[in-house]
Amino acid sequence: MLKGFTRKFKPLEILTEEQVEAIHRGTLEILENTGMTFYHEKALKLFEKNGCKVDFEKKRAYFPPALVEECLRKCPSSFHVKARDPKSDLIIGGDTLYFTTFPGMRTVDLDTWESRVPTKKENDDAVKVLDALDNLHKILCYTPYFEVKSIPPITAIPESVAAKIRNSTKIQLTGYSKDCEIFNIKMAISAGTEIFGQCCASPPLTYYGDAIESAFRFIEAGFPLHISTGDVFGGTAPATLAGSMITNNAEIIAIIVLTQLIKPGTRVVAADFVFPQNMQTGSPAFGAIGCSLHHVMFNQIWRKYGIPTNNASVGVSSSKKIDFQCGYERAILALLSALSGGNIIQLHGGIHGELTYHPIQSILDDDIAGMIGRFIEGVEVSDETLAIDLIEEVGPIPGFYLNKEHTRKWWKKEQFVPKAADRLTYPEWMKKGKKSCLDYAKEKMDEILATHKPIPLTEDQDNEIERILEEARKYYQERGML
Amino acid sequence: MSDEVLKNLKKAVIEYNAEEAASWARKAVEEKIDPIKALDVMTEAIRYIGDGFGKGELWLPDLVGAADAMQSAMPIIEEEIKRKGAKRESLGIIVIGTVYGDIHSIGKTMVATLLTAGGFTVHDLGVNTKAEEFIEAIKKYKAGILALSALMTMTAPEQKKIIAALEKEGLRDQVKVMVGGGSITQEFADSIGADGYNPTAPGAVKLARSLVGK
């Protein structure tokens, strides 16, 4: 099992009990009175059968508060997810923190910072790098890239799922579109791994058929579900943090009701994927501190619901380069998510606004994850760490700690040593070619690609993956989509 | 009195007040004010907001608010123009929309608003628009430019389908096609045979002007 990091102190909370209650009551009110649109007949019928008022003409379901609260209670507060190698299993929830990736549509040229479509080999290599990173526990959908040379868009998701199953043992979240989840589920079963399914709202307060069909398929296959919204506050949600929390939570909770009606006890992760509206460009404001205000509130409220959280808006910047802005935005956002008790943080690899990703960024992010992870593990206070006997023994100068057994035993537990940071003395830095963290990350990537060998699938499993991909291609050809 | 009505119509658009804008537009019709003049003051108002936006003094909520106010007054004025058989001066007629399968509206609305401010007559078909709806609107409004938006990689190919539909209908020679949206590149625009691409909203106005030779 991948242990991740365990927070050893009280989480950061920024809302009073009254404020949490006001947001919860507002959410219930919207679910009951405004309701939500579902372009999915089967879901509407299931809601109606279980006591929701449903307007079939408007495709709108209205949720009674008692049903909502009952369904929230039925979700497990922590759960086990099985990987194809038990060493990559996850136990999600409680005080555990895991890191996952943030995807990008294309790769980026590290000299010109212009985006370009990666090759299949670059895509596979980027997954291998993720497999090798110590502080990366789970891989997201569309990761690393949505666009890969020679792969048509219609089969991009199944091809991406296959690339991750083949090049990593880590558990992945998978996307959905035009029935592709049928093949994603088959591949996961054949490789002996669980995968996360996904269901995303189209805010405000709407779910299209593809999203709901995906939820049904994953739940019926017995897999856990990741629920997210993509609210942009000021655009598709109210401009206020509290108001956007209500629409965001209402959208997630509607799917939680659906999951628990389909199969009680279904494992879910509530993902906060929100951005303030960039009022100049019309894009989401990536890297904005508003993301953290939202995530921190979200973690507090969902801890009360007893449902594991994913903070999704972290590893993506408004900057186009791996530079100072890109670094401070993601580091501040990741730290605040960790301090406030988020269970999964989407950090590794994403650079600009869902457009670009680079494995070197994922290596740099692994150091951010390591620093933050070390911080939340806190301080151990025991007879041994207080070291009273040792302090008495060493005494004042010429006393010295570097040569002590206690130091050899403890320093590595107490410190975090980054893999790609420049920590040299000035003369050494001069002598070794004035390298920066970016240079070290490049070297690290070369080293990983030269030496790291992900645990392969068996030949039979690999053939089966290929057969399922071929089945997917045929499926889309028959429908004139390929 | 007619100056007063026009002043208030303009003010209503500048102050993002959709109700007031519609009400002053109705008043303009009642008082038999030249509808072309009413249209001119609204265009001036949108241009004022568009300029402010371009300078970074105004923001998207201002742009969208003013566009909404103008949209609410527009049908009233347009009907009057049609009834009187008046001729409006315009750089060109544009049909705009986000393609089928894609519900992203912000970029498309920004472009539509700035095109209006730039002196074009714009018919916004909204989001999730099918190829046949674009074709129908081009015929109905006798549009010279078709502006297509697609944010996602998965929906970008829809733009190609629409261009193919234009060809099938024998409309391709009469209509210039401009494309945009988050996932679109110049390379993609060239590959589908579009007449123009620009990644920004103000750039789209320049592009439209160049497409009509102005």
Q: Which residues of B touch A482 (CB under 8 A)?
A: none
Please report the DSSP string for A140-193 in residue order.
-TT-SBS--TT--GGGHHHHHHHHHHHH--SEEB---STTTHHHHHHHHHHHT-
The pairing of strands A36-38 and A53-55 is: unpaired
Closest Cβ–Cβ partner in A146, A279, A355 for B61 = A279
Pair B140, B121: CB distance under 8 Å: no
Whole-angstrom distance, CA of residue B42 vs CA of residue B69? 9
Instruction: Provide CB contacts within 8 A for A418, sequence distance 6+.
Output: A367, A370, A371
Instruction: Tell me the pLDDT tens digit for each residue of B66-95.
Output: 999 998 998 999 899 888 888 778 899 999
Q: How far apart are CA A297 and CA A459, in angstroms?
A: 47
Question: Which residues in chain A touch residue B153, judged by CB atoms under 8 angstroms apart?
Answer: 105, 146-147, 153, 156
DSSP A22-76: HHHHHHHHIIIII-EEES-HHHHHHHHHTT-EEETTTTEEE--HHHHHHHHHHS-
Cα A352 to chain centroid, rounded: 16
Distance CA B62, CA A255 (A): 34
Banded model confidence at residue A50, pLDDT cuts 50, 70, 90 = very high
Contact at CB, A146 and B157, closer than 8 angstroms:
no
pLDDT in tens, A97-127: 999 999 999 999 999 999 999 999 999 999 9
Q: Compute φ and ψ for B176, nearest 5 degrees.
A: -90, 135
Q: Which residues of chain B have pLDDT under 70?
A: 1
pLDDT at position B1, please? 64
| Cα B100 off chain centre by | 18
Pairwise CA distance, residues B88 & B112, whole Å: 18
Question: Which residues of B fall below an 8 Å CB-CB distance to A?
Answer: 56, 59-61, 103, 106-107, 110, 153-154, 157, 182-183, 201
Q: Give just the sign of the alpha carbon dihedral A406, A408, A413, A415.
A: positive
A156 contacts B153? CB cut-off 8 A: yes
In this complex, do A280 and B60 lie within 8 Å of one another by their Cβ atoms?
yes
Give A87's DSSP letter: G
Kindly report, residue by residue over A231-258, the tens digit of the pLDDT: 999 999 999 999 999 999 999 999 999 9
Nearest CB to B110 within list A153, A202, A282: A282
For residues A317 and A325, the answer to whether their CB atoms sit within 8 Å is yes
What is the nearest CA distance from B159 to chain A, expressed in angstroms? 14
Does the distance separating the beta carbons of A277 and B153 come in below 8 Å? no
pLDDT at site B104 = 85
Mean pLDDT of the residues in chain A: 97
Q: Do β-strands A115-116 and A171-172 pair in parallel, antiparallel, or remain unpaired?
A: unpaired
A216: helix, strand or coil: helix
Binning pLDDT at 50, 70 and 90, where does residue A457 land? very high
CA B206 – CA A363 distance, rounded (Å): 42
Q: Which two tokens mark B196?
A: 């123009």
Helix axes A41-49, A209-220, angle to 10 degrees: 60
Position B86 scores a pLDDT of: 81
pLDDT digits (tens, 9 = 90+) for A185-224: 999 999 999 999 999 999 999 999 999 999 999 999 999 9
Residue A143, pLDDT above cutoff 90? no
Q: Residue A206: which of A255, A155, A162, A166 has the closest Cα?
A: A255
Give A202→chain B minimum CA distance, Å.
Answer: 9
**Rounded CA gap, A24 and A27, in Å?**
5
Contact criterion met (CB < 8 Å) for A282 and B154 = no
- Nearest-Cα distance to chain A for B62, in Å, is 9
What predicted TM-score, i.e. pTM, was given to this entire model? Answer: 0.92
Between CA B144 and CA B94 the distance in angstroms is 6
Which residue's entry shows tokens 């591949």?
Answer: A187
**Three-class secondary structure of residue A272 per DSSP:** strand
Q: For A94-110, b where at least 16 C-beta lie within 10 A, e where not — what string? A: ebbbbbbbbbbbbbbee
Amino acid at A479: R
Q: Are A177 and B154 in contact (CB < 8 Å)?
A: yes
Contact between A369 and A361 under an 8 Å Cβ cutoff? The reply is: no
**Closest chain B CA to residue A203:** B103
pLDDT digits (tens, 9 = 90+) for B142-156: 999 999 998 877 788
The whole-number average pLDDT for the span A36-43 is 98
Answer positive or negative: Cα dihedral of A256, A261, A263, A264. positive
Distance of alpha carbon A290 from alpha carbon B193, whole angstroms: 41
What are the angstrom distances between the C-alpha of A364 and each of A130, A359, A375, A439?
12, 9, 17, 11
- Tell me what the mean pLDDT of segment A31-55 comes to: 98
SS3 A7: coil
pLDDT of residue B87: 78
Question: For A409-420, how does the pLDDT look when each residue is reduced to its tens digit (9 = 90+)?
Answer: 999 999 999 999
| Helix, coil or strand: residue A194 | coil
pLDDT tier at A174, thresholds 50, 70, 90 = very high
Q: Tell the residue number behind the tokens 């007063």, with chain if given.
A: B4
A280 neighbourhood in chain B, CB within 8 Å: 56, 59-60
Q: For residues A282-298, give the mean pLDDT.
A: 96
Q: In the predicted model, is pLDDT for residue A282 greater than 90?
A: no
pLDDT of A152 over the 70 cut: yes
Residues of chain A contacting residue B103, judged by C-beta atoms under 8 Å apart: 202
Residue type, A156: A
**Number of cross-chain residue pairs from A and B with Cβ atoms under 8 Å apart:** 28
pLDDT at B184: 86
Task: For B202, name the nearest residue in chain A, comparing CA atoms only.
Answer: A281
Tell which A residues from 131 to 150 touch B, by Cβ distance under 8 Å. 146-147
Taking CA–CA distances from B57, the nearest residue in chain A reads A280
Q: Does the structure show a pLDDT above 80 at A395?
A: yes
What is the rounded average pLDDT of the residues A278-286?
92
Minimal Cβ distance to A282: which of B56, B106, B153: B106
Task: Please tell me the distance from the alpha carbon of residue A357 to that of residue A364, in angstroms, as a whole number.
Answer: 12
Of A146, A156, A279, the CB nearest to B59: A279
CB A124 within 8 A of CB A34: no
- pLDDT at residue number B202: 86
For residue A5, give how far its alpha carbon lies from the nearest alpha carbon of chain B (Å): 35
Report the C-alpha gap between A143 and A101 in whole angstroms.
7
Minimum-distance CB partner of B60 among A153, A282, A355: A282
* A339 close to A345: Cβ distance less than 8 angstroms: no
For B59, the closest of A146, A177, A280 (CB atoms) is A280
pLDDT surpasses 80 at A469 = yes
Measured in angstroms, the CA of A59 and the nearest CA of chain B are apart by 18
- Cα separations in angstroms, A267 against A194, A401, A414: 12, 49, 35
